[in-house]
Amino acid sequence: MCGIVGYIGERQAASILLDGLSKLEYRGYDSAGIAVYNGEKIQMSKAKGRLKVLSELTHDGETLPGTIGIGHTRWATHGAPSDANSHPHFNESMSIAVVHNGIIENYIKIKKMLESKGYQFASDTDTEVVAHLLDYYYKGNALEAITKVMHRVEGSYALGILFAEKPDTLYAVRKDSPLIVGKSANGNLIASDVPAVLKYTRDVYFIENEEIAVIQQDNMKFYNMYEEELTKESVKIEWDVEAAEKGGYEHFMLKEMHEQPKAVADTLSPRLKEGKIVLDELNMTEEEMKAIRKIMIVACGSAYHTGVTAKYILEGLARIPVEVDVASEFRYRNPILEEGTLVIIISQSGETADSLAALRMAKNMGSKVLAIVNVVGSSIAREADSVLYTWAGPEIAVATTKAYSAQLIAHYLLAMKLAEVRGTVTLEELAVLIEDLKRIPEQIELLLGNREKIQKFANRYVAAKDVFFIGRGIDYAISLEGSLKLKEISYIHSEAYAAGELKHGTISLIEDGTLVVALLTQEELYKKTVSNVVEVKTRGAVVLSVTNAGNTDMEKNSDYTIYIPKTNKYFTNSLAVVPLQLFAYYISIGRGCDVDKPRNLAKSVTVE
């Protein structure tokens, strides 16, 4: 996820671009850049790091005069954060400039074609192919070149485009990535999100999928990808700036929960091609995958919880023994890493101190290390032997939601790929699994639509002192994350237990009114877990159960039941965790807690 802005009008563009980018830095902060047409040519300035580096470099935009320009703040996907990989990107003659939010999935194929035509590339990004492809198709008609590019590229994109030969026109394009156009008395703007334009206008047009905006100082037109003109109506924005930065949501955490379907889809789509799982990032041959004798998963916090889930899935599908370790324990317990052990390090930030130390230890002991991270160019990504990126985009709230969901998807894909190569699932079984995977974003969306029902139940338990989460198998892994979400943002004491362990001491803590959240998504374990639910009910517990659609028997044994859509048993975490996230969120709101910045916690733990 990146932020783009553009301006054409009476005023100097650079300062407006920098101001707009400052409102979009939550969308990316690896690097930033702007390009402005000065009357003779397109000038550019870009720099690695936070936006202030670019502001200082350009003296707040004064070194780039001109009244039309585009800008970008980057969340790195293809290519590590660097000056060269920063946007904007140009064709070789620097007569076409492009900024991009999204992922071009077939960029390698296009790049090879362009290289065969003599085009040379200056970056490692997927975006640069767009600039050169525009050059390839441009014969004086900018709109025609843009539509040809749209028909050629695959993936998601919001584009801002400048043509030096069209100095009175700014072009914007959208497919699956957000884009708006703002109309003001002193000029017109484009942006990834409303906050970037609110200082200048509240009249905006929302660009829909596969639409093009052709914008001039006092005019704008809209087209589809077949060059047919469209009629659009503007919308008056009534939000204040703070609300707009959160997309109209009260908190970043709620916004990021609602971004989970996209985060899941973005992590899935580049790896599902023609009904197959493609994980070229693993840098492993099929022989190397078959030679794996053991997997060691190492992580912290919520990332560790996805690792617990992965253990059940990898062992169940790929039939590889798996151990899961908290990074701070792994690095100090003198672990045994035998030949054939693959170590997986999971981290949202890619900078988690204990996880990074565990990675270095594993490499020193001769193991191959695979990283699952969300930040391109982070320390863990750089030092691992291979990287499986999650495309969740920046996550502002300290309590992770969408990054957790994207990590789960990475584990599913890995397990399925290993199972396919090792022959532990048939091609028919794999095809069914892939179809179930494809449905997950839509199913998450459905669960998010029921948030008001969860809010009503949560409101009854804002004064709870102790909450217990129980489950068996993958349900136990889900319980771990549900418990953590509740305790870290509401400050309620909460614990997760393997349901079969209740009689080994924990059940002594159950008394009248104690809230127990029971997870029952694994059908083969229903009866076992139901017996545990009956045990706590008998001792006065109030039970909230989360189970699969159709398992109506749970209503007899629960005070409140939440149903998740049916999916493969290995994928239920992706669905069951959503109501638990919402439950924790609404409990926290009811208690007046700072949801986005809970006390004593930091987003990235970079010290031991």
Q: What is the pLDDT of residues 190-200, one digit of tens each?
A: 999 888 998 99
Q: What is the pLDDT of residue 243?
A: 65
Q: Is 2 annotated in the active site?
A: yes
Taking residues 515-534, report their average pLDDT.
93
The CATH architecture assigned to 451-590 reads 3-Layer(aba) Sandwich (3.40)
Taking residues 447-465, report their average pLDDT.
92
Structure tokens at 101: 């939010």
Total number of residues shown for the chain: 608
Asked if 270-448 and 451-590 have one fold, the answer is yes
Q: In what order do the strands lie in the sheet with 170-175?
A: 89-90, 96-104, 155-163, 170-175, 211-216, 219-224, 229-230
- Choose among 300, 297, 410: nearest CA to 355: 300
- Choose among 462, 158, 404: nearest CA to 257: 404
Cβ(336)–Cβ(289) below 8 Å:
no
* Residues 369-417 pLDDT 10s: 999 999 877 889 889 999 999 989 888 898 999 999 999 999 999 999 9
Cβ(471)–Cβ(478) below 8 Å:
yes
Q: What is the pLDDT of residue 602?
A: 66
- Please name the fold of domain 270-448: Rossmann fold (3.40.50)
For residue 366, how far is the Cα from the chain centroid?
A: 32
Q: What is the pLDDT of residue 136?
A: 97
The secondary structure of residue 596, as a DSSP letter, is: S
Mean of all residue pLDDT scores within the chain: 93
Other beta carbons within 10 angstroms of residue 326's beta carbon come to 17
Q: What is the pLDDT of residue 607?
A: 46
Of the pLDDT bands very low, low, confident and very high (cuts 50, 70, 90), residue 545 is very high
* Residues 273-297 pLDDT 10s: 988 999 999 999 999 999 999 999 9
Cβ(43)–Cβ(36) below 8 Å:
yes
Cβ(296)–Cβ(344) below 8 Å:
yes
Of the pLDDT bands very low, low, confident and very high (cuts 50, 70, 90), residue 220 is very high
Of the pLDDT bands very low, low, confident and very high (cuts 50, 70, 90), residue 303 is very high
Separation CA 386–CA 358 (nearest Å): 15
pTM, two decimal places: 0.80
- Choose among 220, 218, 221: nearest CA to 10: 218
Cβ(158)–Cβ(4) below 8 Å:
yes
The secondary structure of residue 316, as a DSSP letter, is: I
Kindly state which CATH superfamily the domain 3-245 is placed in: Aminohydrolase, N-terminal nucleophile (Ntn) domain (3.60.20.10)
From the candidates 2, 183, 262, 402, which is the catalytic residue? 2
- Report DSSP letters for 326-392, one per residue: EHHHHTTS-----TTEEEEEEESSS--HHHHHHHHHHHHTT-EEEEEESSTT-HHHHHSSEEEE---
- The domain limits of the chain are 3-245, 270-448, 451-590
Q: Is 603 annotated in the active site?
A: yes
Structure tokens at 197: 């334009």
From the candidates 363, 566, 597, 603, which is the catalytic residue? 603
